[in-house]
Structure 1
Amino acid sequence: MQYLYDSNGTMIESIDSYNGKQVYERDASKRLTAIKTFNNNHLVEEKKVGVTEFENLMTSTTDSNLIISPMSTTVYEDTIIKGIDMNQLISDSQFTNTSTMTSDSIQTFLESKDSILKDTVLIYYLDTSGKPYFKGDTINAASSIASNAKSNGVNPKVVLATLQKESSLVTAKPGTVAYSSRRFYFAMGYGATDSGDDYTKGGFNLQISGGTATLKKRYDEAPATGYPKVFTNINFGKTVTSNGVTYNNYVWVKNKATYSLYKYTPHTIDTSLLPTVGGGNYLFVSIAKGWWGTNLWD
């Protein structure tokens, strides 16, 4: 599906790959009033949304998002969210390109962001109860990112974008985040899963090494052929509609790199943030575009 928005970020149309289109009409207060369905530019259905129906829609779940039945997972669909192609987040060659940044260029990049990571990081580990403790270990973030990206065969930009997606540490200023905080000991989300935390993976050094290794491991485990493939049970296994936009519990992926990223983070967006669109692999690509623009992963 491709979603079109107006200048205020309100979704106005959804278009599929088979000449189908839905147009969402709203009143002056942006309340949904009608849904028109077209096939080959011919109107085939118009559904009026009255006040009572609208209010029922908005109160049908506690988070104001309508949970609906999943669509077919047997026919390929484009998934484009605010201009970002969620079917191919990055190419395989870009994902495995380790030459995009050196340790020195990563350090310069962190300094340009006035990042807390430009300085020596104190490493806090987790004990068996999940309590952080310090035993004197420190690390240089730029050097660790560069060396682990190189040894695992992963683009260091992928590591940086994942780090920012998970903890926002790249843009955190010195002194604003405690080294003993979750943002550091689970900095790349490695071991911090939807089903619970693995305390043995807590520690900034383990996050960089383990997180980068896991990204490559998922890439190596990805099917070699047969793309596009449908990736199911994402977004907590729920299909959610917010502001007239449907975010499915599946997505079609076109290559091994995208497969890896969805295995690492099984979300197109973070549906808990709706109606704000953010989180998930949408945020991953948004971060990279904001930092590197047209050069993106090169």
Structure 2
Amino acid sequence: MAKRRSRPRRTPRATILRRRRIAFGVVALVLVGLVMLAIAPLVSLTAAWNTEVRRQAVDLRDFDPGTLISDAEFYDGDAMTAGEIQSFLDDQVGECRDDSCLARLRTELPARGPIVSDATGATVCEGYDGGELSAAEIIDRIQRACGISAKVLLVTLQKEQSLVSGRTARAPSPEQLGAAMGARCPDDAPCDPGRSGFALQIAQGATDLKSYSASDFMRQPGQHYIAYSPDPSCGGSDVTITNEATAALYNYTPYQPNPAAIAARWGTGDACSAYGNRNFALYWALWFG
């Protein structure tokens, strides 16, 4: 008697559909990955192009050496949250090459008590707790203690050591982090070693910027002769400083841009050009203006 041939076992329809869905999902993921790889350079190029367009749109035709920034913007101790600062750093720094970039940096902030002016009795900065913090958390903690806007601190970090945007920002050196704010860093000598390091630089820079008004120290609003550069032969002009914030910036960086520096915008002026306060104005307009 002949054997009856067994029929092939049929795969249930539900299993077939499930396998198809899995296959389609895998194919879709591969396609999405390929598309992302293809467009990533375009996204990067577009972001760079947009940044350059914004840079070129910033001009200094209305630059007023007597009013570099308003008091309300300068002394805003609640200008940004730590999360907003972190997002800003992520966006501006871009792809970090190591953990020294400000988007990744974590370092120790020593605790500090309140600082009170001996001259006026006014509080320069409130005390704060220390700890190992991110760069964004340090900037936020210091802005609130000293009442100096995080935006001002970010622009100062850029104008002093290019730590927020550009090639340097992606992998700053220990020396650049050590002089982050240019605080207690004279033009003709090394920085004060007791004020070296990212966290100490943020603390000292913000304290100095606040102390000029709180301690009624150095230039105050009014007419002052402001030089164009450290070279006395380059001259300068009388400037009517209209507010405490502008006075603080000239106390911190005691030169005004000359006509060549203004005309050059992001470029190089002449042998008598100084760029600190010009670059402050440019980056403020680019990022927050």
Normalising by structure 1, what TM-score? 0.57
Work out whether residues 76 and 148 of structure 2, in 8 Å CA contact, stay in contact via their aligned partners in 1.
yes
Query: Where does residue 206 of structure 2 map in the other structure?
Result: 212
Change (3 A) 1:139 1:173: farther
**Rounded Cα–Cα distance in structure 2 between residues aligned with 1:152 and 1:218:** 12
Q: Radius of gyration: which is bigger?
A: 2
**Rounded Cα–Cα distance in structure 1 between residues aligned with 2:215 and 2:233:** 26
Work out whether residues 218 and 260 of structure 1, in 8 Å CA contact, stay in contact via their aligned partners in 2.
yes
**Rounded Cα–Cα distance in structure 1 between residues aligned with 2:237 and 2:232:** 5
Work out whether residues 190 and 211 of structure 1, in 8 Å CA contact, stay in contact via their aligned partners in 2.
yes
Question: Are 2:153 and 1:189 equivalent residues in the alignment?
Answer: no
Change (3 A) 1:144 1:261: same
Change (3 A) 1:215 1:140: same
Deviations 1:169-220 (A, max 9, x none): 101458843442x211001001211242222211111111111111101232
How much is the aligned-residue C-alpha RMSD, in angstroms? 3.3
Query: Where does residue 87 of structure 1 map in the other structure?
Result: 66
Work out whether residues 231 and 253 of structure 1, in 8 Å CA contact, stay in contact via their aligned partners in 2.
no
Paired residue secondary structure (2:180): coil
Q: Tell me how far 1:121 sits from its aligned partner.
A: 4.0
Query: Where does residue 282 of structure 1 map in the other structure?
Result: 278
Q: Tell me how far 1:252 sits from its aligned partner.
A: 2.8
**Rounded Cα–Cα distance in structure 1 between residues aligned with 2:220 and 2:250:** 17
Q: Tell me how far 1:232 sits from its aligned partner.
A: 4.2
Paired residue secondary structure (1:258): helix
Larger helix percent: 2
**Runs (5+) with no aligned partner, structure 1:** 1-79, 124-136, 241-246
Alignment of 1:1-298 (within 5 A): 82-115=61-94, 116-121=101-106, 139-172=133-166, 176-180=170-174, 182-197=175-190, 198-222=192-216, 227-233=221-227, 235-236=229-230, 238=232, 240=234, 248=236, 250-269=238-257, 273-275=268-270, 279-292=275-288, 296=289
**Rounded Cα–Cα distance in structure 2 between residues aligned with 1:175 and 1:92:** 28
Query: How many residue pairs align between the two structures?
Result: 195
Paired residue secondary structure (2:257): coil
**Rounded Cα–Cα distance in structure 1 between residues aligned with 2:169 and 2:243:** 40
Q: Tell me how far 1:228 sits from its aligned partner.
A: 2.9
Normalising by structure 2, what TM-score? 0.58
**Rounded Cα–Cα distance in structure 1 between residues aligned with 2:275 and 2:188:** 18
Paired residue secondary structure (1:110): helix
Paired residue secondary structure (2:280): helix
| Percentage identity across paired residues of the two chains | 28
Work out whether residues 165 and 283 of structure 1, in 8 Å CA contact, stay in contact via their aligned partners in 2.
yes
**Rounded Cα–Cα distance in structure 2 between residues aligned with 1:119 and 1:86:** 36
Change (3 A) 1:289 1:232: closer
